[in-house]
Amino acid sequence: MDLFDDLPEPTQTSGPVPAALTTPPQTTREEEEEEEEEEENRLKRKRDDADRKEEEEEKEEEVKKVCKEGLPVLRAYVAARRGEREEMQDAHVLLPDMSSCLSALPGNVSRVSYFAVFDGHGGARASRFAAENLHHILAKKFPRGDAENVDKLIKRCLLDTFKQTDEDFLKKASSQKPAWKDGSTATCVLVVDDMVYVANLGDSRAVLCRMEAAADGQRRAVTLALSKEHNPTIYEERMRIQRAGGTVRDGRVLGVLEVSRSIGDGQYKRCGVISTPDLRRCQLTPNDRFVILACDGLFKVFSADEAVKFVLDVLQEESAEQRAGLMEGEQRFEAACQQLAGEAVRRGCADNVTVILVSIGC
């Protein structure tokens, strides 16, 4: 590019001006004005082009910060229904880019995403507390710098985060008059680049839809469980409760509490109810379509396979309700999420229903 493109043409000469040119005719002046206007327009176009190029470069740089080349693109959608309950006791968090909460990332990590659903019981205070605080505690404990063995560090980070969240809530609950007796399940999906870490307590669940080639050459959906249910009817859970001096009656701790692990529930902690999450890890592949993260309100009326098939059927429909600001693919996932939660209520679930649908794309 010519280094002098931005310089306007001189309008005066430095030497003597011939007499014939000292008084230019009116038409020459008009031509000069037109030339000046044209020059101003040209410079404006150049500035606009430069601004546009700079904006595009900034966007490209932002994408590079968030995603390494080849990392799947994650988009999250949520639908919540109160059902027949008087109060909505579920809470949820969607953070496709968690970098704003983190002071620094390990040198070999370019993206961290976080999605969580919390199903409260005995009130909404425990679920709301976990939704407001757990990811901030996680961010403070997250590995930093050029950390080695990131898997091991993240596992320890998640265990410590759940422990502190529970302790912090119990401390706040016990200081109230009267003391709060709320509790909550917790299912959290943490995506570090293309690795999915799931930590869960209680009976909220996370499942992954993966497309695999069948013997006939067609692709079929496979449902992968990303979480483990915790209720007192499971042998290991019941044994722990009984060793702690608790009992299991009618499938409940002391005949009351349906889950054997939770945040809160201070009155049951001495009976073997714990806040240690089950941890699972799964690497994403190009064949993965989406993750469903939901409270037990959904899974009371849907099996995991049925929920996955329901979403796939909606995604394959010819038309989806148009919403401003959403691309066609996003509209389909939004519709699938809303319809899945609505269908759970239609099938007779009287409980709160919260569904998070995380699409996995390229």
pLDDT in tens, 272-284: 999 999 999 999 9
| Contact criterion met (CB below 8 Å) for 211 and 131 | no
| Contact criterion met (CB below 8 Å) for 260 and 240 | yes
Closest by alpha carbon to 89, among 47, 123, 112? 123
Find the length of the chain. Answer: 362
Give the mean pLDDT of 97-111: 84
The chain-wide mean pLDDT, for the chain, equals 86
Residue 246 token pair: 């608790």
Instruction: Kindly tell me the sign of the dihedral angle through the C-alpha atoms of 324, 326, 327, 329.
Output: negative
Q: How far is CA 114 from the centre of its chain?
A: 5
What's the half-sphere exposure (Cβ side, CA atoms, 13 Å) at 290?
A: 27
Amino acid identity of 360? Answer: I
Residue that wins the pLDDT comparison between 59 and 31:
31
What pLDDT digit, counting tens, does each position of 322-341 carry? 555 567 789 999 999 999 99
Give the mean pLDDT of 97-116: 87
Least confident of 66-70, 128-132, 288-292: 66-70
Q: What is the pLDDT of residue 162?
A: 98
Least confident of 65-79, 177-191, 236-250: 65-79
Give the mean pLDDT of 171-192: 96
Q: What is the pLDDT of residue 145?
A: 73
Residue that wins the pLDDT comparison between 194 and 7:
194
Kindly report the number of other CB atoms within 10 A of residue 242's CB atom: 14
Residue 80 CA to residue 232 CA, distance in Å, equals: 27
pLDDT category of residue 296 using cuts at 50, 70 and 90: very high
Amino acid identity of 71? Answer: L
Q: What is the pLDDT of residue 168?
A: 98
Closest by alpha carbon to 95, among 281, 358, 289? 358
Q: Provide, rounded to the nearest whole percent, the portion of the chain with pLDDT above 90.
A: 66
Predicted model pTM = 0.78
Q: What is the dihedral of CA 266, 88, 358, 66, to 10 degrees?
A: -70
pLDDT category of residue 4 using cuts at 50, 70 and 90: very low
Residue 21 token pair: 């040119």
Q: How far is CA 70 from the centre of its chain?
A: 19
What's the half-sphere exposure (Cβ side, CA atoms, 13 Å) at 21?
A: 7
What pLDDT digit, counting tens, does each position of 206-254 carry? 999 999 988 787 889 999 999 999 999 999 999 999 999 999 999 999 9
Residue 346 CA to residue 298 CA, distance in Å, equals: 11
pLDDT category of residue 345 using cuts at 50, 70 and 90: very high
Residue 230 CA to residue 241 CA, distance in Å, equals: 12
Q: What is the dihedral of CA 275, 281, 284, 285, to 10 degrees?
A: -150
Instruction: Kindly tell me the sign of the dihedral angle through the C-alpha atoms of 231, 233, 234, 237.
Output: positive
Encode the chain in three state secondary structure. Answer: CCCCCCCCCCCCCCCCCCHHHHCCCHHHHHHHHHHHHHHHHHHHHHHHHHHHHHHHHHHHHHHHHHCCCCCCEEEEEEEEECCCCCCCCEEEEEECCCHHHCCCCCCCCCCEEEEEEEEEECCCHHHHHHHHHHHHHHHHHCCCCCCCCHHHHHHHHHHHHHHHHHHHHHHHHHCCCCCCCCEECEEEEEEECCEEEEEEECCCEEEEEEEEECCCCCEEEEEEECCCCCCCCCHHHHHHHHHCCCCEECCEECCCECCCECEECHHHHHHCCECCCEEEEEECCCCEEEEEEECHHHHCCCCHHHHHHHHHHHHCCCCCCCCCCCCHHHHHHHHHHHHHHHHHHHCCCCCCEEEEEEEEEC
